[in-house]
Amino acid sequence: MSAPVLELERAARTYPGEPPVEALRGVTFAVLAGELVAVVGPSGSGKSTLLHLMGTLDRPTAGRVSVTGLDIAKLSDPDLAALRASRIGFVFQQFHLAEHSSALENVADGLLYGGVAAPERRARAAEALDRVGLSHRATFRPSKLSGGERQRVAIARALVGRPAIVLADEPTGNLDSAAGVAILELLKDLHRDGATIVVVTHNHDLAAELPRRVEVLDGRIVADGRPA
Amino acid sequence: MTGLVAVRLRPADLARVASVGLRTRRLRAALSALGIAIGVGAMVAVLGLSASNQAGLLAEIDRLGTNLLTVQNGQSLIGDKAELPVQAPAMIGRIASVTQVAATAGLSATVYRSPLIPSVQTSGLQVQAASVDLLPAVGTTVAQGRYLNAATEREPVVVLGAQAASRLGIDRVFPGERVWLGGQWFYLVGILRPAALAPEIDHSVLVGFDAAKRHLGFDGHPTEVYVRADTAAVAAVQSLLAGTADPEHPDQVDVSQPSAALEARAKAKGALTGLFLGLGAVALLVGGVGVANIMVISVLERRSEIGLRRALGARRSQIRAQFLSEALLLSLFGGAAGVLLGALATAIYASTQGWAIVIPALGWAGGLGAALGIGAIAGLLPAIRAARLSPTEALRTA
């Protein structure tokens, strides 16, 4: 059995306010290297908060979150930034691509904060674009690409640093169904090549396609299992 | 051991990241840089024009010659006007190294365009007796007509200084033109150009020494002697003048070097530039507020970019550096444009005036430095705010 890449132990996140909002109420689960996991739940279930904790963008108010064995509560801001730069890749629903840069430059920016020199960034970005099947679009600006192509660029950017885990937040949320299916196939493909991927979504049909589903409701995990 | 390595952004990468905002929002960047450019441009132009003006004046003074010395009658012990001896010009002329000597003598007579003018309307003009060799000594020439010569200096004729001519309303010399001087008609023979080194000549109506003696009761005592000396010996000559002019009362003689006084005045002229410099600084400050404003808006608008960069692994300090560098870059562009603008304005104006173009280092280096300083102050707060933004907040969809 491979070591867990991501581990949550009774992780909770409460937002201060009147009354305080308990977004996550003690979540325990682990993601092993090479897994493809769907975290599924309706809006307001706490899955976005969960994504933020898994991505070390936020810290738990109670419990423990470990990424590649490092307890994120014990890391300073520069260490957390280095962790994100080297071991975590993000894919967002809105793509978050820079409009003024080409697809290649956008992918290369995935390595910007990892201390990689510019020529190597471009070489590896070209490789990653090739992997998602967009070599022929390398010089295009995002505005000249279709939604599906933009999401492929974003996935290439998440992969270019060869992270331990890729977190995808509603990766098909802004796409039509055909493009969505293609993105899903790409994710499965990457998973077969050994990538560890967590997809956060509210879409049960999409989740049903993935080998493991973690269902979240009201800040708790209500089901965790593989489809029959 | 975490095994994590914190890495710095390379300078080239930082420069690229810092210029993102400027490249994507060009009009906005250009307008806010313009504010800085106007401020810096005004400061550079003020300093440049004042320095060029000064250089022009000094060049003009050099052209007129710095070797002119004047000897004036001073005050006697009891406070009266002292008299220079009649032979003072001749005595001075015997000093070695003295190349030219000329003299004038103030007369009490008054001058009018015609006898019908009320006697109180003297126009502030002075009637002076002048020697025939005055013009080369004071460094001026005749604008119209001719100057006094050995023949006309004993006749009732006048030559007008540049100012005197315009005050009397005379702009050209024609036969029969005359002025009412000391109760009789004097015929006009010439008008002089301005004498920068001896402005008192400009306000004077000049008659010959002999004519003054014959028609105006002049006693022959000069009141001012103009002396040209070899340039190398000016100081030596200056020290001898008082004793030579009036050996009995050297303390009653005032000796001065008009070019030195003019130079001092040219250098002191910088005083007024302080005011304009202050106005330039205010413009620069306003430009800085514009940059701060644009940076605050930029940080608000680019939350998702900040969130993305944090997700890609940017540290707080790297976000801070990005926005601070952007503000610095913006002010640097503005400052550079301002220096060019100010230099151009100086060059154009100075060349129309025939001055040398001088842009003092204080102007361009100070302007750039002030722009960078303003940019740093303007960018600091927005940069700190950008760095404090939590990544989850920044990534939240609007």
- What's the CA gap between B276 and B386, in Å, rounded? 37
Domain check: are B171 and B282 in the same one?
Answer: no
Query: What mean pLDDT value characterizes chain B?
Result: 87
- What chain A residue is nearest to B397 in terms of C-alpha separation? A94
Torsion of CA A81, A82, A85, A90, to 10 degrees: -40
Show which of B208, B226, B244 is a domain's final residue.
Answer: B226
Option in B4, B9, B395 nearest A83 (CB): B4
Domain check: are B297 and B222 in the same one?
Answer: no
Q: Which residues of A touch B (CB under 8 A)?
A: 52, 55, 57-58, 70, 75, 77-79, 81-86, 90, 92-94, 96, 98-100, 109-110, 112-115, 117-118, 157
Q: What percent of chain B has pLDDT over 70?
A: 97
Of the candidates B133, B322, B334, B337, the one whose C-alpha atom is nearest the C-alpha of residue B225 is B133
Question: Number of residue pairs across A and B with CB atoms under 8 Å?
Answer: 94
pLDDT in tens, B88-109: 898 888 988 888 999 999 998 8
pLDDT at A85 (0 to 100): 92
Domain check: are B29 and B122 in the same one?
Answer: no
Return the number of other C-beta atoms located less than 10 Å from residue A177's C-beta: 9
In this complex, do A78 and B310 lie within 8 Å of one another by their Cβ atoms? no
- Residue B245, in any domain of the structure: no
In this complex, do A109 and B312 lie within 8 Å of one another by their Cβ atoms? yes
pLDDT in tens, B34-77: 989 998 998 898 888 888 888 888 887 777 778 888 888 888 77
In this complex, do A86 and B4 lie within 8 Å of one another by their Cβ atoms? yes
- Residue B240, in any domain of the structure: no
Q: Residue B271: is its pLDDT beyond 70?
A: no
In this complex, do A99 and B24 lie within 8 Å of one another by their Cβ atoms? yes
Show which of B174, B197, B226 is a domain's final residue.
Answer: B226
Mutate to test the interface with A, among B1, B4, B14, B317 (most CBs of A within 10 A): B4
Range of the domain at B199: 85-92+101-226
Option in B23, B392, B397 nearest A52 (CB): B392
Mean pLDDT of A105-130: 93
- What's the CA gap between B271 and B248, in Å, rounded? 42
In this complex, do B304 and A115 lie within 8 Å of one another by their Cβ atoms? no
Degrees to nearest 5, angle at CA A10 with A6 and A13 = 90
Domain check: are B46 and B136 in the same one?
Answer: no
Query: What mean pLDDT value characterizes chain A?
Result: 91
Q: B3: pLDDT confidence band, cut at 50, 70 and 90?
A: confident
Option in B9, B23, B308 nearest A100 (CB): B23
Q: For this complex, say whether ipTM is above 0.90.
A: yes
pLDDT at B2 (0 to 100): 64
Range of the domain at A21: 4-225
Q: Residue B366: is its pLDDT beyond 80?
A: yes
Q: Residue A214: is its pLDDT beyond 50?
A: yes
Q: Which residues of B touch A86 (CB under 8 A)?
A: 4-5, 313
Tokens 């689960």 identify what position? A29
pLDDT in tens, B100-145: 999 999 998 889 988 888 888 888 889 999 999 999 888 889 999 9
Strands (E), B38-107: 68-73, 98-107
Domain check: are B105 and B217 in the same one?
Answer: yes
Q: Residue A21: is its pLDDT beyond 70?
A: yes
Instruction: Say how many domains are in chain B.
Output: 2
Domain check: are B126 and B33 in the same one?
Answer: no
A49 Rama class: left (phi>0) / alpha (psi -120 to 50) / beta: alpha
Q: What percent of chain B has pLDDT over 90?
A: 34
pLDDT at A2 (0 to 100): 64
- Residue B54, in any domain of the structure: yes
Residues B395, B307: contact at Cβ < 8 Å? yes
Option in A57, A93, A109 nearest B392 (CB): A57
pLDDT at A36 (0 to 100): 94
- What's the CA gap between A35 and A116, in Å, rounded? 28
- Among the residue ranges A9-13, A83-87, A209-213, B392-396, the one predicted with the least confidence is B392-396
- Residue B252, in any domain of the structure: no
pLDDT in tens, B187-228: 999 999 998 888 889 999 999 999 999 998 888 899 999 999
- What's the CA gap between B128 and B158, in Å, rounded? 10
Domain check: are B390 and B292 in the same one?
Answer: yes
Backbone angles phi, psi at A216, to 5 degrees: -115, 135
**What CATH number is associated with residue A32?**
3.40.50.300
pLDDT in tens, B225-264: 999 988 888 888 888 888 888 888 888 888 888 877 777 7
Q: Which residues of A touch B9 (CB under 8 A)?
A: 112-113
- What chain A residue is nearest to B21 in terms of C-alpha separation? A100
pLDDT at B398 (0 to 100): 43
Instruction: Say how many domains are in chain A.
Output: 1
Residue B40, helix vs strand vs coil: helix
Show which of B169, B201, B226 is a domain's final residue.
Answer: B226
Q: How far is B377 from chain A (nearest CA, A)?
A: 25
Return the number of other C-beta atoms located less than 10 Å from residue B268's C-beta: 10
- Residue B241, in any domain of the structure: no
- What's the CA gap between B136 and A27, in Å, rounded? 104
In this complex, do B395 and A85 lie within 8 Å of one another by their Cβ atoms? no
Q: A1: pLDDT confidence band, cut at 50, 70 and 90?
A: very low
Write the DSSP assignment of B255-290 as a string of letters: EE-HHHHHHHHHHHGGGGHHHHHHHHHHHHHHHHHH
Mean pLDDT of A117-138: 93
Domain check: are B288 and B192 in the same one?
Answer: no
Q: Which residues of B touch A70 (CB under 8 A)?
A: 2, 4
pLDDT at B226 (0 to 100): 92
CA count, 13 A, side-chain hemisphere, A29: 24
Tokens 């004729």 identify what position? B157
Degrees to nearest 5, angle at CA B226 with B160 and B68 = 110
Using alpha carbons, list the distances in angstroms from residue B215 to B49, B83, B181, B190.
Answer: 51, 21, 10, 19
In this complex, do B314 and A81 lie within 8 Å of one another by their Cβ atoms? yes
Strands (E), chain A: 4-15, 21-32, 36-40, 62-67, 70-71, 88-91, 165-169, 197-201, 212-217, 220-225
Domain check: are B208 and B313 in the same one?
Answer: no
- Residue B337, in any domain of the structure: yes
Q: How far is B395 from chain A (nearest CA, A)?
A: 9
pLDDT at A228 (0 to 100): 46
Q: Residue B347: is its pLDDT beyond 90?
A: yes
Residue B82 DSSP label: P
Domain check: are B113 and B212 in the same one?
Answer: yes
- Residue B242, in any domain of the structure: no
Q: Which residues of B touch A113 (CB under 8 A)?
A: 7, 9, 309, 312-315, 318
- What chain B residue is nearest to A160 in terms of C-alpha separation? B312
Of the candidates A154, A157, A173, A200, the one whose C-alpha atom is nearest the C-alpha of residue A51 is A200
pLDDT at B397 (0 to 100): 59
Mutate to test the interface with A, among B24, B301, B315, B316 (most CBs of A within 10 A): B315
Option in B20, B315, B392 nearest A81 (CB): B315
Q: Which residues of A touch B5 (CB under 8 A)?
A: 82, 86, 115
Q: Which residues of A touch B309 (CB under 8 A)?
A: 113
pLDDT at B269 (0 to 100): 64
